[in-house]
Structure 1
């Protein structure tokens, strides 16, 4: 199989079905008809979706009719109560297609697989498919609190993606980005979502078999809220980013927050976060911690949150990192709390703390808890996600999780330090989470996944575009110094990049591989699906190219400067000034494009932080230019 293509016995399906038997012939969906029961609104909605998808990729729109309508080649739905809720069968023959399931959710998933099989001419290859997921919960979480907050339409686009690729839970990571009615100041000026907006999104998701759920940080990671005057008395201490768990009023405050969240989110889950609370004990909780110990103080607080959640009809989820930090707490915490085990590396990384997350996975379950694993697409503080690292961690953690009896997987998108990485870069990562939470036991090799994803996401014949994204996602791994650190760190124009040059060169080779596939025959310009994503990827590529060339350009400028100080030759000054002018122009152009792309998919709040950082780069260039105008001594 050539890179960027699929073999004749493989199909552009994400996630890939458990069992496929190819049979002879093809069904002409473009000239077929989709039949549904008149009383079944869900079936009518699904029929419209199949018809629209066929028109999108082929230009042909199948007919739709209620039961009793005669079509020579129909698409029908059948019920089989022996199948699990999310299982389905898809029978494609030359004269008819049958989607078979026991529940509406399974029927929807059968329809989504059918949509991915539609060829550019409106035909569907004949085959028999039997399929069901490994994990019951297949989720992504989305950090909306430290940079980008999507517009409502963009949130809906993410929900549609989840639905199409059989991701059934979408968590919004919330610190202060919910507009609580009891305190309207929370989230103001930061793009906070109102209860009405959440209800709109939740209903939109529910219609597409996606559960929209809150991940509300209920102890730490609250640096915005604890700085507000009205919550200062709940703060662990001066400079702390956490509420004080030893103060009984903190639980009453959380109850107020939980009531409003429960009124907006219809999900049965209330995820309390509770990770990275390293500052607890540095202030007001210290006397209680000294007396009773961390395990008991944390357990009492978590159990208090659980009582509140249960009173609201919600199931409490928390991060399981305390199992490593304070193992005794597992004997004290309510066993109906769901533990979420997250890690950013595969087993055997050499880091004892991260490796212990794998060690404690079976222990948490043995203690009587239900457990979910949580890898990450590794996208924070980067020009583009690190899809080598993210893919490997997702494959390893999901496989370990299913083998130990975990019920689900939640892949995290984080937005540390401004969330400069556009969500439009995340589709590939969301795609491999869909694949490896549905098929956790047998993770697929990334090159094969990439080709399947390219055709599923961009349309028939676009396998190579998925492979191009795979190569773009190698850059952060190849370039060990990091694109973000190169652009915004303190080294540029100050000291030479020496050790980094080899890895920068390796990253440039990945970018060359991307370019060869992405711009192949200009085929990306005629994609049938998700064309709006192309400009974002073009932008990511050009910025990554700029950053990986920067060490070489910076070193050249430092060399020129040293030579000019020694020789005083005007041609050295001219060469350097031209280079600096070009660097400033390029960054100003990136800034302009970044703002335009941000405004297309995100609320305006949070943008200026990132633009200011780009302005800072230009300022460094201007300062460098001043040195060339100064005295050589």
Structure 2
């Protein structure tokens, strides 16, 4: 009880008291949890916080440029302080010391006396000690120093009088998984600019992600096969090398992923590649053709040398056409699995990558408890993927462990085909898959983002990405979604007043639940006045449509009202607001279409007969303030906003396709207004006037 009383007093005195007090009912305050993401392995909070004055000394004992850079990620956030950074200096009280273990006897002694020793089993471990008179970060490696600094960033706050302070705490921390990676899909439309990838790297590193995997099919520039590249959609060796260099400073390795079996349609559609296609202009290359391996080796030899990673991902998932063409006799002789293993053996032994650890999508092992993976080469690393929120992943992981093959688990943080990320299900998927990955000995996590519809904004997905980072780092078997939600606002946005951002984002995501579990992206582009959109219209107008719209609208308003509370990563909120508005558009489109149908019926019944203004006719026919005019205006708003945000993240390539979708909607609204006006005089049956859906 004495410890609880002390922690309560300490935490209430902290500027984050509103955050923690609001979470008191969940036990966060009682357990002494601070809003940190990821949460440290061991932490004790206590004592008087360290005050950073108008000037503050930081001693870096190693004199290392890497450690100095890590320190700069902290000092750059507090430009109101005059920092006296001293490279090669030892521990002194009254300041901040960044020490490599074994290089500063005084710092080692203080840390040892506090019972803080970095975990010898991890090169990324660190310890942190902060109290009234000092802050010490200790680690054996530059990575450990970097991660200690990232935790220091979240421990630092400004009190009510504007003083910058560091929470008093003792921390010993190390990751649960050695490899904590994310994957970004660069081949389905959004190809990020170099500057935006740098932004991704900076943010990901804060939450101790250490790998960034680039999904590709035909975007890496090829001098040997230039015909497979598309103008405007080419990533050059110079760009990759620039990003590799930049990411290295943040302890993130860039990992190439180049599909080498399925998802090869962009290449196989080109002339001169029919001979390596399983079926002409199909989806997969054929393992029965020798030139397949010449091509793959040629292309990989152009890609891989630009990366420093010891890994390369060769994809090879969803090879649905295997055995349906040139490899038919091979599959008849070896079976589907045998033909797949034959291909993997050839790919993993290609000269371009034979010295790498080769990741591949492990579809072949799913639901096969007796599968024998011993035929795979020694450099094989399986990546088990599953994006559904299952109770467990026992159908997939035990056989990987039994076979002794190193493996990653690959959940999904968010992906295209959704109007708004389904964070509730995404988090359950991430939590459970990473939990079971830890249970069965996964060496890493590869959290995925997919862009199948080619229109997504990455900035909308940080809630899922940071949760994945927490799950992969934190030592406990299963990471608490609720505790993460309580911490997210401070850890990501430095909102010290509560968890308004996390609550609003989750509430918006959950609006999709009563609709159809998730709203698919084609609901954005459907037209209720056409046959294809009529079914969606019938479904939506039978729900509590206005209640759902009100929820989206109110939470959109809350996000806007809270913008001033975000003091970190605030630029990411623009995409969240846009996608919220886009979700509202789907619901508003259904509401306005229902209203237009009702107005037309009222007009046909002459309900406004005798009035000076026929209100039904006014709402139907007025091009500006009528219901169709509102659909047009909403569409234009989204089109302009989407383009603005797209260009902030991505290269112009592919935008024209998205723009055309908006243009088709605008034309559909114009066509519908013309059709209605054509039939107003004779009050034609509603089906002839473009109302194929049921009466609301």
Structure 2 length normalisation: TM-score? 0.84
Q: C-alpha separation between the residues in 1 aligned to 2:21 and 2:654? A: 37
Please say which of residues 475-484 and 132-141 is displaced more in the overlay. 475-484
Match of 2:489 in 1: 454
Match of 2:691 in 1: none
Q: C-alpha separation between the residues in 1 aligned to 2:397 and 2:212? A: 23
CA-CA distance at 1:562 after TM superposition: 4.4
1:468 to 504, 507, 511: 504
Matches within 5 A, 1:418-437: 418=454, 420-437=455-472
1:580 aligns with 2:615: no
CA-CA distance at 1:629 after TM superposition: 1.8
Please say which of residues 35-44 and 63-72 is displaced more in the overlay. 63-72
SS in 1 for 2:315: coil
- Check 1:616–1:454 CA distance in 2 against 1; reply closer, same or farther (3 A cut): same
Q: Could you give the per-residue CA deviations for residues 503-553 of structure 1, whole angstroms, max 9, x where no partner exists?
A: 65564464256346424xx44135322232232222222222222222222
CA-CA distance at 1:69 after TM superposition: 8.1
SS in 2 for 1:417: coil
Match of 1:351 in 2: none
Q: C-alpha separation between the residues in 1 aligned to 2:337 and 2:82? A: 61
Checking the alignment, whether the CA contact within 8 Å between 1:336 and 1:369 is kept in structure 2 is: no
1:343 to 367, 386, 392: 386
Q: Could you give the per-residue CA deviations for residues 112-138 of structure 1, whole angstroms, max 9, x where no partner exists?
A: 100111102310111101111111111
Q: C-alpha separation between the residues in 1 aligned to 2:555 and 2:20? A: 11
Structure 1 length normalisation: TM-score? 0.92
Checking the alignment, whether the CA contact within 8 Å between 1:465 and 1:524 is kept in structure 2 is: no
CA root-mean-square deviation: 2.6
Checking the alignment, whether the CA contact within 8 Å between 1:37 and 1:66 is kept in structure 2 is: yes
Please say which of residues 73-82 and 159-168 is displaced more in the overlay. 73-82
Checking the alignment, whether the CA contact within 8 Å between 2:50 and 2:165 is kept in structure 1 is: yes
Q: Could you give the per-residue CA deviations for residues 249-292 of structure 1, whole angstroms, max 9, x where no partner exists?
A: 11111111111121111111110111111122222222322233
- Check 1:601–1:311 CA distance in 2 against 1; reply closer, same or farther (3 A cut): closer
Checking the alignment, whether the CA contact within 8 Å between 1:169 and 1:213 is kept in structure 2 is: yes
SS in 2 for 1:244: coil
Checking the alignment, whether the CA contact within 8 Å between 1:373 and 1:408 is kept in structure 2 is: yes
Please say which of residues 550-559 and 503-512 is displaced more in the overlay. 503-512
Matches within 5 A, 1:350-361: 358-361=394-397
Matches within 5 A, 1:587-602: 587-602=635-650
Match of 1:618 in 2: 666
- Check 1:231–1:238 CA distance in 2 against 1; reply closer, same or farther (3 A cut): closer
Q: C-alpha separation between the residues in 2 aligned to 1:583 and 1:448? A: 40
Matches within 5 A, 1:3-402: 5-7=22-24, 8=29, 9-30=32-53, 31-37=55-61, 39-55=63-79, 59-68=80-89, 73-80=94-101, 83=120, 84-120=122-158, 121-308=163-350, 312-324=354-366, 328=371, 330-348=373-391, 358-402=394-438
Unpaired runs of 5+ in structure 1?
Answer: 349-354
Unpaired runs of 5+ in structure 2?
Answer: 1-17, 102-117, 609-613, 685-696
Q: C-alpha separation between the residues in 1 aligned to 2:21 and 2:452? A: 33
Match of 1:416 in 2: 452
Please say which of residues 389-398 and 504-513 is displaced more in the overlay. 504-513
Q: C-alpha separation between the residues in 2 aligned to 1:298 and 1:125? A: 54
Match of 1:549 in 2: 588
Report how many residues are paired: 620
Q: Could you give the per-residue CA deviations for residues 388-415 of structure 1, whole angstroms, max 9, x where no partner exists?
A: 1111100011101101111111110000
SS in 1 for 2:85: strand
SS in 1 for 2:278: coil
Q: C-alpha separation between the residues in 2 aligned to 1:113 and 1:564? A: 65
- Check 1:82–1:284 CA distance in 2 against 1; reply closer, same or farther (3 A cut): closer
- Check 1:394–1:507 CA distance in 2 against 1; reply closer, same or farther (3 A cut): farther
SS in 2 for 1:229: coil
- Check 1:172–1:68 CA distance in 2 against 1; reply closer, same or farther (3 A cut): closer
Q: C-alpha separation between the residues in 2 aligned to 1:544 and 1:459? A: 26
1:530 to 552, 569, 592: 569
Please say which of residues 81-90 and 290-299 is displaced more in the overlay. 81-90
- Check 1:346–1:441 CA distance in 2 against 1; reply closer, same or farther (3 A cut): farther
The structure whose RCO (Cα within 8 Å, separation 6+) is larger is 1
- Check 1:4–1:508 CA distance in 2 against 1; reply closer, same or farther (3 A cut): farther
Q: C-alpha separation between the residues in 1 aligned to 2:235 and 2:126? A: 36
Q: C-alpha separation between the residues in 2 aligned to 1:181 and 1:409? A: 33
CA-CA distance at 1:202 after TM superposition: 0.7
Q: C-alpha separation between the residues in 2 aligned to 1:190 and 1:507? A: 40
Higher gyration radius (CA): 2
Please say which of residues 233-242 and 190-199 is displaced more in the overlay. 233-242
Q: C-alpha separation between the residues in 1 aligned to 2:529 and 2:436? A: 41
Q: C-alpha separation between the residues in 2 aligned to 1:596 and 1:447? A: 34
- Check 1:459–1:341 CA distance in 2 against 1; reply closer, same or farther (3 A cut): same
Checking the alignment, whether the CA contact within 8 Å between 2:61 and 2:99 is kept in structure 1 is: no
CA-CA distance at 1:2 after TM superposition: 7.7
CA-CA distance at 1:45 after TM superposition: 1.1
Checking the alignment, whether the CA contact within 8 Å between 2:97 and 2:136 is kept in structure 1 is: yes
